[in-house]
Every structure is written in structure tokens, then in C-alpha cells.
Amino acid sequence: MQNSNISNKILKWYDNNKRNLPWRKKTSIKNREYFTLVSEFMLQQTQVKTVIPYFENFIKNFPNLKSLAKSSDQKVLKHWEGLGYYSRARNLKKTAIKLLNEFKGELPKDIDKLKTLPGIGEYTSRSILAIAHNEPYIPMDGNVERIIKRVFLLKTNDEVSKENLNKKKSFFGFSKRSSDYAQAIMEIGALICKPLLPSCSHCPLAKNCKAFRKKDFLIKSKSKFNKIKYFEANVYRYKNKYLLIKNKKFNFLKNLVIFPMKEINHKKFKYSVHKKINVKMSNMNMKIIINKNNKIKKTRDSLFLDKSNINKYILPSFTKKIFNSVSY
Ligand code: SF4
């Protein structure tokens, strides 16, 4: 089958089935660039359904590059709170400043220039070129990878190597509607060719798909296990207030507000009699002992917070979880 037939089938499916996502709204070229930039930063490492409310709230508060560039880091981070990977928010603001200062507020159409912007690497630059500028790129995200692996029934390590997947991507060909086409392929992966239960009866690629013919949908992938790390959080309470500090110690979630804590070993965690909680982060599973203390140990970065003022700060999910489990 010619690639133009493949692209026609995919685009027809997309026109009838695409999700109504807030960054896909019809808007001016300028807004489209900005919406693509913000959504692509948010979608790095985060699922669409999680991103939607954050995107809408972010655009309400920072409707354009200028408003984002002149906002304080604190305000930008506050509107990113809960989305994780906070360096994305800092980089997004830096990118807004650089675009205004060096690119007249426009997203470059040159991949090398795009990659000079903070937080924009190979994948995001290709997504921006395809989605915002209608350039003929098909960014290789997990969805596109999965479709290729199934269409060609790729199983061995060599077959699923990055190089081979990129070669096989030529199966899709290109379309003049590059922006829609890139999004359409990713959308098939997200809605139809799902990791566990693909809905092949609705898939425009079923006739071209080896996995469908052989009824073998198992995906060969590199296994990704989150590391488990153990911590002891020290909770100091004075009247209704709790002592929190700015995180200068751990390399993750730098400068966000946490309870004083230290990393411990598995044995100490296992035999501790204190309350324990588990928190799944995007890059590690945290197992935390909550140790209530009577003696207050203040440091230069100490903050005393209660329920009424804690929301003014940017809190990682584990700080919120500890706070909710000890406060009443
Ligand atoms: S036919 Fe099924 S397995 Fe093949 S690409 Fe479509 S949804 Fe995925």
C-alpha cells in the first residue's frame, strides 16, 4: 500500500475521532505557537489527562509569552505545583524570556535554533516543528514507537533499536497536513493502540498490521523500574504549626518546601515502629517514616506553617501527604 493511502486513512480517522484538547483549539498563529510550547513542556513525562487542567489554569494566568516572562519564578512554580519535574517550569520561563529577547517573540523554524532554548531537546523540537509550524516531522514518542513495533511485529533487541524504529517510521510517509498528521499518529497510539488492550477493530492500520494478523500484541520494551528510596521525615510541631524547610539538600525538587528529612537504609525503615507512608514519584518510589519529635530544631531556612498558610508555598506531593497525615 502506498504511504499516501496510509496517511489518508490515518487523517480520516483523526478527523472523526480526535480529542478536543485545549491546546488544539482554533486560534491565532501566535497563540498556537504559545499553546504548543506550554503543552509540549507539560506533556514531557506527564499524561494528557493530567496535563489538561494544569494547561487551562496556566494559560488563564499566563496568557502569552510576555506575561510568562515577567512573572516571578515563585508564581510560575505555584501554577505548576503537583505536575512534578519542576525544572520544566523554570526552563519554560527561561525559554519565554529568550524568545522575547532573541527571537522577536517567535518560535524559530530551525531545529538547531529551537534546541538552543532551555528545556527543548530533540523530541520537543520535532514536536514543535510539526505541531506549531506544520513541518514534516513525526516525533517518536512512546505511542508512535508502540504502533511501529506492532505494525512490523518487532521483537528482538536489534529490531526495537532506536535506529531501526526510526527507519521503520518511513512506513507513515508524510502529509501536507503535517501538524495534524503527527498528532493523529500519536492519537492512535493513545486511544487505540493502547499498551495492554489495543482496539484493533477501530484502527485504521489493522490491514497493515502484523501484530493484528498474528494476534500477538506483546511489546518488547526496555524495562523501567523506579528505584525505591527510604527516608525519615522529622515532624516538629509547635501549637498548630509545623516546621518545614526549603529543600537545599536533595537533588530532586530543589528549593521546594519539605519536612526536615534524611535518606535511610532499608533495614532502618523495615524495623521502625513509626508511621510509614509510600509516595510514588515519577522517577522513584519513596518510602517514608514519619518521626514525630518534641524538640524543635530550627535552621536558617525554617518555616512554621499551619493549614491556613501552607498553600502559599510550593509543596511536593510527599510533603502534602506527610502534612495531611499528621495535621488535624
Ligand atoms: S491494528 Fe491493533 S495492534 Fe495494529 S496498530 Fe492498530 S491497534 Fe495497534
pLDDT tens-digit profile of 184-239?
999 999 999 999 899 999 999 999 999 999 999 998 765 556 789 999 999 998 88
Domains of the chain: 3-214 (1.10.340.30), 227-326 (3.90.79.10)
How many residues are given for the chain?
A: 328
Q: Is 9 in the pocket of ligand 1 (CB under 6 A)?
A: no
Taking the centre of ligand 1 as the mean of its atom positions, its distance from the CA of residue 52, in whole angstroms, is 26
Q: Who wins on pLDDT, 34 or 280?
A: 34
Tally DSSP H helices, then E strands, for the chain: 14, 7
Taking the centre of ligand 1 as the mean of its atom positions, its distance from the CA of residue 144, in whole angstroms, is 11
Distances (CA, A) of 323 to 6, 55, 244, 307: 53, 27, 10, 9
CB atoms within 10 A of CB 306: 14
Give the residue from 185, 184, 183 showing the smallest Cα distance to 168: 185
Q: Is 147 in the pocket of ligand 1 (CB under 6 A)?
A: yes
High-pLDDT (> 90) share of the chain, %: 69
Secondary structure of residue 181 in the 3-state scheme:
helix
Q: Is 13 in the pocket of ligand 1 (CB under 6 A)?
A: no
Q: Is 203 in the pocket of ligand 1 (CB under 6 A)?
A: yes
Main-chain phi, psi angles of 218, to 5 degrees: -65, 130
* pLDDT given for residue 303 in this prediction: 86
pTM of the predicted protein model: 0.75
* pLDDT given for residue 85 in this prediction: 86
Residues paired with residue 257 on neighbouring β-strands, in sequence order? 246
Distance CA 95, CA 328 (A): 41
pLDDT tens figures, 106-130: 999 999 999 999 999 999 999 999 9
Give the residue from 123, 128, 96 showing the smallest Cα distance to 110: 128
Task: Give me the mean pLDDT over the 149-161 stretch.
Answer: 93
Taking the centre of ligand 1 as the mean of its atom positions, its distance from the CA of residue 224, in whole angstroms, is 23
> Can you state the angle between helices 142-151 and 178-191, rounded to 10 degrees?
80
Taking the centre of ligand 1 as the mean of its atom positions, its distance from the CA of residue 203, in whole angstroms, is 6
Q: Is 212 in the pocket of ligand 1 (CB under 6 A)?
A: yes
What does DSSP say about strands 227-238 and 284-293: parallel, antiparallel, or unpaired? parallel
Burial 5-22 (b: 16+ CB within 10 A, else e): ebbebbbebbeeeeeebe
Distance CA 94, CA 205 (A): 41
* pLDDT given for residue 225 in this prediction: 64
Specify the residue for cell string 505494525.
151
Q: Is 192 in the pocket of ligand 1 (CB under 6 A)?
A: yes
Residue 40 has pLDDT above 80, yes or no: yes
Ligand 1 pocket test: which of 144, 148, 154, 209 has the largest number of ligand atoms within 8 Å of its C-beta?
209
CB atoms within 10 A of CB 292: 12
CB atoms within 10 A of CB 323: 19
Distance CA 247, CA 121 (A): 27
Ligand 1 pocket test: which of 14, 147, 220 has the largest number of ligand atoms within 8 Å of its C-beta?
147
- Closest ligand 1 atom number to CA of residue 217: 3
